[in-house]
Amino acid sequence: MDILTTLGRTLGFSLAAGVNLYATVAILGLAARYGWVALPEQFQIFNNDIVIIAAVVMYVVEFFADKIPYFDSLWDAIHTAIRPIGGAMIAVATIGDASPTMQGLVALLGGAVAASSHLTKTSTRAAANTSPEPFSNWILSLGEDVFAVGLGYIALTHPVLALAIAVVVLGLIAVFAVVIVRTVRRWFARSNRRTYEPPNPRTT
C-alpha cells in the first residue's frame, strides 16, 4: 500500500475515532462487509458481526447521550481513555503486518491523534454547556457526527485527501491548545495579582 494512502487512513481514522469512536468502527466494519471500496486484507478484522452490531448500537446510544447538556461531558469523561485506545488499535490495524517496533510507533501516533481530537471536543463541549440554551450543544453534536462520519468515509475513499484534512485539523488543534494555555496563564496571573495586593506606603 502506498505510504500516503496508509498515512491518510491512519491519521484520518484516528482523528475521527477521537471524536466518535463507534461511528468510525461501524464505518470500517460496514465497508469491509459490503465492499464499499477495495480495502487491504487487514481491514477484514472489522468484518465481524459482533463488532459491527456493537459499534452501531453504541453509536446510536452516543448519538442521544451526546446531545444532553452536562451528561455529554460525563460521557466524554468516561471515554477519555476509551477513544485514544480505540484510535491506537485502529491505527495498528490499518498498517497490517509490521514489526513490533513499527506497530508500537503507529499505536502511539494513533493514540495521540485520537487523544488530541477527543480533548478538543471535550473542552469545546464543556464551554458550550455554560450556555443556558441547548441549541449550541445540539449544533456542535451534529457537527461532530458529520465530521466523524465524513472523515471516516473520506479516509476510505480518498485517503490522500483525508491526510490533508487531518494535517490541517491537527494544526488548528495545536493553535487552539496554545490559545487555551495562554488564556489560562493570564487568568491565573490576574487572580494572583488580585489575591496579593502590596501595602501602600502612604497608609503605613
Structural domain contains residue 202: no
pLDDT at residue number 203:
54
Look at 9-13, 111-115, 186-190 and tell me which has the smallest mean pLDDT. 186-190
First to last CA, the chain: 78
Structural domain contains residue 203: no
Structural domain contains residue 47: yes
Whole-number Å distance between alpha carbons of 125 and 120: 9
Structural domain contains residue 204: no
pLDDT at residue number 160:
94
More confident residue, 128 or 172: 172
Range of the structural domain that residue 81 is part of: 3-194
Structural domain contains residue 26: yes
Number of domains in the chain: 1
Q: Is the pLDDT of residue 42 over 70?
A: yes
Query: Can you give the pTM of this predicted structure?
Result: 0.84
pLDDT at residue number 137:
77
Structural domain contains residue 199: no
- Exposure string of 29-64, with b = 16+ CB inside 10 Å and e = fewer, is bebbeeeeeebeebbebbbeeebbeebbebbeebee
192-204 pLDDT tens trace: 666 555 555 555 5
Whole-number Å distance between alpha carbons of 113 and 162: 14
68-86 pLDDT tens trace: 888 888 999 999 999 999 9
Q: Is the pLDDT of residue 190 over 60?
A: yes
